[in-house]
Amino acid sequence: MMRLLKIEWIPIRHNKSIWIMLGLYMVLFALLSYAFDKFEFNAGGEGAMLLSQFNLLKFPDVWPNLAYLGSFFNLILAFIVIMLVTNEFSYRTLRQHLIDGLTRVEFLAGKLMVIGVLSLTLTVFLGIISLILGSVNSPSGAIPWTEGSEFLGAFFIQTLGYLVMAMFFGLLLRKAIFSIGLFLLYSWLIENLPGWITGFEIFDYLPGNAMDELIPSPFTRYLVSETAPQLPLASLVATVVWIGVFAGASYLLISKRDL
Amino acid sequence: MNPVLTLSNLSKNFGNLKAVNSVTFSVEKGSVFGILGPNGSGKTTTLGMLLGVLQPSGGNFSWFGEAPSAASLKRIGAILETPNFYPYLSGKANLKLVAAIKECGEDRIEEVLRQVNLLDRAKDKFRTYSLGMKQRLALAAALLNEPEVLVLDEPTNGLDPQGIAEVREVIGQIADSGTTILLASHLLDEVEKVCREVAILKKGELLYCGPVEGVSNDLSAQYVELSADDLKALEQVLSKHPQIMRITPRDKGLIATFTETIHGGDLNGYLFQQGIVLNHLAVRQKSLEAQFLELTNKNQ
């Protein structure tokens, strides 16, 4: 396991684009989290209103709200993963690794470990930001800070799911530009089409939709009902299943292919 | 006999194309073995299967008498086609990665870099290297695990004469140390200079497998140039020679090939006895190149 991590770490460590994208992710996310409740929100007829009136960053709301904000940033991470995977094809280093005695399963396991470490790191980062902003914005001792923190776990699973899906697209198409294009087209359009056309709820459990639903948008909640956010269990189960499906499909893609 | 590599009926199809068609041969431990063939003859495809990047369509192969596995690949050092490294990593960092994959430790990195004469450029990024340096870094990577077998695919392709000489010198040193070498090339000259045994491929078919000298025996590599004032009489007498194979006129003389090796003096004596006085006699060796072309054309 340490060997596989080392094999992944050496090329990542010197890859400037990855560190620039990660740095951008963290700085932008920290800034937007801080500014989250200072935006104006245009709610149709009633005109513009300040989000600050809802106190979005107090415990326990801070957990689902920042997790929701974080899910927009997953796209940057998906680009990183697609780049990492497709580089191995364009530099032909996967081919060389196999010649040197890495197995196809080890290659896949290495990439999954990177995805796991990346998801975990950013979950911890999100957790720290949420804790800090939550403590600043909550009256002390009012509500235990752990309440609602299950959304931190949901963020981890969501990120993991997005990235395993991104890896699959990278392995499928092997070229960064095609993989990113199809990934965007698929998750923004193709997957939503059957739902829009038929209106069947079952299409909410397609991979991208299930991952999106995992952390629901806070805005409708504040406008429509003031109930505490619930973790959607069905979406959680669907996401975990999809992670398994994409990992398995990636294995099938890579195990017999000529490289 | 102790083969490190055995292929039996190994085949690879790309759609309808039989890129490698039921190829069988084995490579003995310690030998310097060449795979020779024109471009598109299936050399790289064969090596691709042996090195685990292509799935055979049929047949099988074994390294060190074992079924193919990552473990056996770690005992091999191989370059397939182009040198493949991360362009933004230094030569040294790339070798660290190879060491991690091969599980062979990093202590030999400096040694192999010195061996291929790249030590002073070790810290520079791979993309700044010239083609010859890239090729040499690939050779260094292949040598990192002190391989029992070194597999090289067109190792001097695209190099200038100095680069070719440098790479060949390193290969020669490695061969002398007793490492088994498997070298694929379309350059006959290269195989002739470096290898002791050769398998000749054409359009995926194995045409010949055996010692390099054997190619000659197979094909009467020797020919004799003769000329006399009376060419007609010379041809008549020659055609009665017990070992004669073929007589072809050329320029102002004849070219004769024989079924056995002929000694120039004996032939001259024989002709003189028959009343022929020669004004030119030369026994020549066909180059491996000529033989190779003959062999591959014969099988068209």
- Give per-residue pLDDT as tens, B250-273: 878 888 888 777 888 889 999 999
What whole-number percentage of chain A has pLDDT above 90?
A: 65
More confident site: A235 or B262? A235
Query: Per the domain annotation, does A48 fall within a domain?
Result: no
Domain B3-217 and domain B221-298 have a common topology: no
Domain B221-298 has CATH 3.30.70.100: yes
In a domain, A237, yes or no: yes
Q: What ipTM is given for this predicted complex?
A: 0.89
Measure Cα distances from B67 to B5, B64, B187, B276 in Å: 11, 8, 31, 64
Residue A142 lies in a domain: yes
Residue A41, pLDDT above cutoff 80:
no
* Buried b / exposed e along B151-175 (16+ C-beta atoms within 10 A): bbbbbbbebeeebbebbbebbeebb
Whether A93 sits inside 8 A of B48 (CB atoms) is no
Residue A195 pLDDT exceeds 90:
no
pLDDT attached to residue B261 = 79
In this prediction, residues A1-25 reach a mean pLDDT of 95
| Count of the separate structural domains present in chain A | 1
Report chain A residues whose CB lies below 8 A from the CB of B140: none
- Residue A247 domain-assigned (yes or no): yes
Task: Tell me how close the Cα of A257 comes to any Cα of chain B, in angstroms.
Answer: 7
Nearest-angstrom CA–CA distance, A242 and A116: 15
A98: chain B residues, CB-CB within 8 Å: 51-53, 73
Asked if the model's pLDDT at residue A248 lies above 90, the reply is yes
Q: What is the band of A243 on the pLDDT scale with cuts at 50, 70, 90? A: very high
- Asked, for residue A29, whether it belongs to a domain, the answer is yes
What pLDDT, on a 0 to 100 scale, did the predictor assign at position A219? 74
Residue A168 covered by a domain = yes
Q: Which residue has better confidence, A153 or A38? A: A153
Residue A226 has pLDDT above 70, yes or no: no
Instruction: Give yes or no for A175 touching B (CB within 8 A).
Output: no
Question: How crowded is the C-beta side of B17, counted as CA atoms within 13 Å?
Answer: 8
Q: Which residues of B touch A (CB under 8 A)?
A: 48, 51-55, 70-71, 73-74, 76, 78, 80, 82, 84-89, 93, 96-98, 100-103, 141
Residue of B nearest to A103 (CA): B70
pLDDT digits (tens, 9 = 90+) for B31-71: 999 999 888 899 999 999 999 999 999 999 999 999 999 99
Domain B3-217, architecture per CATH = 3-Layer(aba) Sandwich (3.40)
**Do residues B217 and B187 make contact, with C-beta atoms less than 8 angstroms apart?**
no
| Rounded distance between C-alpha atoms, residue A132 and residue A114, angstroms | 27
Q: For A189-204, what is the mean pLDDT? A: 87
Q: In chain B, what are the domain boundaries?
A: 3-217, 221-298
Instruction: Look at residue A43 and tell me if it is in a domain.
Output: no
Residues of chain B where predicted confidence (pLDDT) is lower than 70: 1, 214-221, 286-291, 294-300
- Cβ(B153)–Cβ(B44) below 8 Å: yes
**Domain residue limits at A228:** 2-33+53-255
Residue A115 inside a domain? The answer is yes
pLDDT of residue B158: 79
Look at residue A48 in the predicted model and tell me its pLDDT. Answer: 57
Averaged pLDDT score across all residues of chain B: 88
